[in-house]
Structure 1
Amino acid sequence: MEARTRSLRRTDVIVDYRGERYVIEMKIWHGAEYNRRGEEQLLGYLEDYQLKRGYMLSFNFNQKKQIGIREVRLGDKVLIEAIV
């Protein structure tokens, strides 16, 4: 499901639940640099929607992957990242 931001950029998932909006970016893990670009993309969406918190879900198919959830603070924004 793709939604569009006010600037017509496509996002992966936007959930409106009980008056709150959640922006979720989904990626397939292709390394740290690709992940960093995903964070920048998510930050742009948060700016478009004037939100302080966003979520990124990365699917890692590597055999020696490190799964988990982490919180990343970038400026005044908080990104919750899950690697599964």
Structure 2
Amino acid sequence: MGMSITFPDEFLKGVQEEVVKQASQAVKQAEVKSGLPFWMKKKQAAVYMNVSDKTLDLFIADGLRTVVKGGVQRISKKSADEYYQQYEN
């Protein structure tokens, strides 16, 4: 036995607008991320990882791998991805 649900047009329009908004934000974020260099400065890494500077510092203290050479600190996209992957369920 099937069941059908009818939603008001206003509700469906709101859902459609929200889906378009979220998709647009995802595309913009992907464009920003793809434009970042492989070896990122901390601010770039925070954008790539979608966190604040303070949270990035916590991630580094927690084990996010960085490279420091001549006083210059960099974080690779690979290290950022691996850091998140270790916490995936």
TM-score of the aligned structures, taking structure 1 as reference length: 0.26
TM-score of the aligned structures, taking structure 2 as reference length: 0.25
